[in-house]
Each structure stands twice: as structure tokens, then as C-alpha cells.
Chain A
């Protein structure tokens, strides 16, 4: 039960991620729900276009090969038991945060005072919650920084 809750919490980020791409998916709730299944954090990030728009086809296209690689990789991992911590040895775990940071610095996800303010609030929330909350919660809670958009006025 705890394991189920932990796994679900780790995927809770796909609530805000799903909301962010929703306007760019095809019409029809069933179609959108289906396309939503192709959301993977990396595909989502790769599909961000200038001005915070999303390239739906690119996201789906980026997920399919990843899904195949993920499945094959998992099977190999299960059968081989120990592949020797290659991910950490090669520094591959630094790739995703570096890529997300690079997107932010280039203003790909949206620029302007509002975007910067939301990013700063999200950073503080995430950092504050990491020691307190189980994995998954910091990212979910930090996405609440977007509620800054409820305040009127220009960006």
C-alpha cells in the first residue's frame, strides 16, 4: 500500500504537466486523455516552444522511441540484476536537470517578470518541501506557484 502511494505521488506531477499541455492537444476529451498518456517529463520538456506553447506531435513522437527503450531497458535491468551503476558513473543523472535549467535560462517556457517570479517561488517551495515531504510532493506543490497568474495586471 505504501509502495502504491509512493509510486502514485511520484507521478502526481503529471496533473500540472497535463494541464499545461491540455490546450495544445487534439479535440475530444477521449482523444486528449489518450494523447495525455504520452506525457513523459522529458518529452514534455522537449515539446516546449517559444512563448510557452507546446508541440503536440513532437511530444508524442519523442515518447514512442523512449517508451520502447524504457521497456527494453527495464527488461534488461531485471534480467541482468546488476549493470554496475553506469548512470551515475557517467554523470547521466545530471542531464535532465541541466536540460531543464538550460530551457529556463533561454526563456523557452515563457519569459517576463511573471515567469521569473513564478520560477523563484517554485524553487523556494520545492527546496523547502524536499526535506519535509515524500518524493513527488515538492514538484506538485511547487507548480502551485503558477497561481500567481490569478493576480490581475500585465506580465
Chain B
């Protein structure tokens, strides 16, 4: 087997183990109230972290570019009670236009 395939198999197995870990350890039983409280806060914490890394990049430094403009436009739209799907499309459109004209 070439080293590329060894890497692919290793990553596949590791990722399967990572994805199995949470459901095995934290599921299927009654959790104490504090553990439930932690679980409940995971979602807002994760979503926020994904917004930050997704918007400003994760490649070693934070960048504010056209994508931030698009995501910002979506945020304003959501604040103005625009349906989420419309706001998300707006993010892509604003980002694409900004890249076209500013980039």
C-alpha cells in the first residue's frame, strides 16, 4: 500500500473514532443536571466558533475581507427579520459582488 493510502486509512479510522466517541460516552443515559447544562451550551459555543473561523479564516491569521462583508449583510438582514434562507443567499451574493468589484 502506498503511503498516501496509509494516510487515508489512518485519517478515516481516526475520524470514525472521533465521531463515535461523543455519542457513545454522552448518550443513552440520564445525565446529571450540570452535565446537561454543559451540553446545552455546546451548541451556541460551537456555532459561534464556526462563525468566527468561517468568516475570518482559520489559516493562521484573522482576515477581514469581502466574505466578512457578505456575512455582515446577512446579519443585518436577519436582524430585519428576513427569512434565514434569503439572508444566506444574500451573504453569497454580496460576497461575490464585493469580490468582483473590490477584489
Contact = CB atoms under 8 A, between A and B. Distances in A.
Given A23-B26, A91-B99, A123-B49, A146 B41 contact: yes
A114 B23 contact: no
A122 B48 contact: yes
Contacts, number: 284
Interface string A63-81: 0000000000000000000
Contacts of A139: 46, 49-50, 53
A25 B46 contact: no
Contacts of A99: 84, 88
Interface string B55-75: 111111110001100110011
Nearest to A16: B42
| Chain A: interface size category | 35 or more
Interface residues of B, number: 67
A74 B45 CA distance: 30
Contacts of B90: 98
Interface string A100-130: 1111111001100011101111110111001
A63 B43 CA distance: 18
A97 B79 CA distance: 16
Contacts of B97: 91
Given A16-B22, A130-B56, A138-B49, 10 more contacts: A12-B18, A22-B28, A29-B23, A94-B70, A98-B71, A122-B45, A123-B52, A127-B56, A130-B58, A135-B59
